[in-house]
Amino acid sequence: MVGTGGPVATFSVWDYVVFAGIILAAAGVGLFQAIRGRKETSSEEFLLGGRQMTAVPVAMSLTASFMSGITVIGTPAESYRFGSAYWIFGFAYAIMSAISAEIFVPLFYRLGVTSAYEYLELRFSRPIRIIGTSMYIVQTALYTGLVIYAPALALNQITGLDLWGVLVATGVVCIIYCTLGGLKAVIWTDVLQMVVMLAGFVAVIARGAVLQGGLTKIWEDAGEGGRLQAFDFDPDPLKRHTFWSIVVGGSIMWASIYSINQSQVQRYISCKTLGHAKMSLYVSMVGLWITVTLAVFSGLTMYSIYKNCDPLSNGDVATPDQLFPYLVMDILADFPGIPGLFVAAAYSGTLSTVSSSINALVAVTVEDFILPVYKDLTQKQVSWMNMGLSVFFGGVCIGMAGIASLMGSVLQAALSIFGMISGPLLGLYLLGMLFRTSNSIGGLVGMIIGLVLTLWVGIGGQLYPPTAEKTNPLPLTTAGCNNTIGQNYTTTTPWTSPVTLTPEPDYRPPLADTWYSLSYVYFALLGVLTTIVSGLLVSVITGGCKQEEMNSELFVRKNDLICFSWCNKSKESDITEKPSANIYMGDDNPAFKEDDMMSKDVEKNTKL
């Protein structure tokens, strides 16, 4: 009986057919793009889609690339155990989209960069660029391995799919369409995978509504279980999720991913106009809203079904990331093919993240390490190098998944490090974009200090997890289970990540309940503020940056903002019958445009 515990069904033949069909369709899209663009073999075509992409597919790719299998599986479990507070990240997505679209996109777009880390050399120095790129490669390879491994482990234990077979198959599929199709293949497969992910959530919610007697019943159960108390305005920075931590800290955390992460930057600079690039982020914001809403409501649906019999407490699953796959097999096993759709949804998220990472890793390796040293390579040699590196990094990601299988509780620590590194890097970019006084010495020292602090608090928090008083897990019971393996109790185990549970150690040092209990959402904000403040101080002490050496294109400008660009266009319309060309209103991407229209606008805009 659904919702009363015990073993659930495993995959049927039709489930395997649906799952394999969707995964093969993803590979087919990559092959199609490879055949379609077989005459376009340039590096720019491979890495940036020829810089001719439009807003909507790029927006869906931006949404899908970080909606990994961990998100598909982990967000409903988060909502199930901690309530709907995670939905407040919708506000953070809106702020992050505005920051990325209005500040970072115009800068990267007019510079015509391929690697986001080119900016660090232009503004500071080549060693800082190399350090930034190296940090990105390490964190991305590790994170991608975890993205492959975590869903595979959960789904293996629930559905019976062979763990290593799925790991290798996932990597191989990504390698195929990344190697042959480049960025266009990645973006268009992301579109397909985004649709499949959303379909998986809808299928779970729809079936849950039928079983529970409607969406209203699910909502009422969630309210009675305390799952709808999302808005906690407590300013305590040690509490895991509050309105302020999610909106303030979450905005900076997501901005550190969408604004400077190569996987994301590579997408919006592939757009054919600046208008499309900005619009892709705003459309992506809507996609993120839809995704997080469906994911959170899927968790509320799961609570409505298991409110009297928690599978985790009952021993039916071992970790929280197995809860949602368990639910799927429990309520959808009677519909052949539907569980296969869900598994495909989880792996679509994994595929989109892995393919995005592979393509981005190839881009930064070629642009930051190879081309500056080997400047005489032919276009054909670079193209073969791109494909070879795609295979290499695909193998690295599969290897990292194998290492992740041996890490145990370090999985959670490694995933958190991904966020800790982004904060200091974002602080470094803002230091260069907003402050003309900052120099390379200040930037380097500031980033190191910010990184040390975030790693200190982050690793300390993993070793000594915050208590239940700070994480606020909501009560769950096993009173209604048919086969309870232990006594009835409520779960209050601290849980700080959608990947694993970290047991609380017996000994807790004095910092454990203060510094180490800082909400993980604030890690990026801590890194940004520390990097900027310390970077400015060191820059001033070391003499600052000489004004005559500064290039105005390297800084945020007033007319980068859409409101000012519209105002400028309106003024031009009042003076002339036909406005002069403006890259902000939709000319071709300046990075590959032969005539230098942008330089004229730069001269005009720097006078404002």
How far from chain centre, in Å, is Cα 607? 37
Instruction: Supply the DSSP symbol for 116.
Output: T
Report which of 187, 173, 150 is spatially closest to residue 37, judged by C-alpha positions.
187
State yes or no: pLDDT of 541 exceeds 70.
yes
Q: Dump pLDDT digits (tens) for 341-350.
A: 777 777 766 7
> What whole-number distance in Å separates Cα of residue 6 and Cα of residue 221?
22
Report which of 245, 227, 226 is spatially closest to residue 235, judged by C-alpha positions.
245
Largest CA distance in the chain: 80
Q: Dump pLDDT digits (tens) for 184-225.
A: 666 666 677 678 778 888 989 999 999 999 999 999 999 998
How many C-beta atoms lie closer than 10 Å to residue 466's C-beta? 24
Q: Dump pLDDT digits (tens) for 422-464.
A: 899 999 999 999 998 899 999 999 999 999 999 898 888 877 8
State yes or no: pLDDT of 590 exceeds 60.
no
Amino acid at 464: Y
- Residue 179's pLDDT is what? 62
State yes or no: pLDDT of 79 exceeds 80.
yes
Name which of 236-240, 436-440, 445-449, 497-501 the model is least confident about.
497-501
pLDDT band at 536 (very low <50, low <70, confident <90, very high): very high
State yes or no: pLDDT of 547 exceeds 60.
no
- Sorted by where each starts, the structural domains of the chain and their CATH numbers stand as 13-412 (1.20.1730.10), 557-605 (no CATH)
User: 89 is written with which tokens?
Assistant: 């990240």
53 phi, psi to nearest 5 deg: -80, 155
- The most confident of the ranges 22-31, 282-291, 375-384 is 282-291
Burial per residue of 60-93, b for 16 or more beta-carbon CB atoms within 10 angstroms, e otherwise: bbbbbbbbbbbbbbbbbbbbbbbbbbbbbbbbbb
Kindly report the pTM of this predicted structure: 0.80
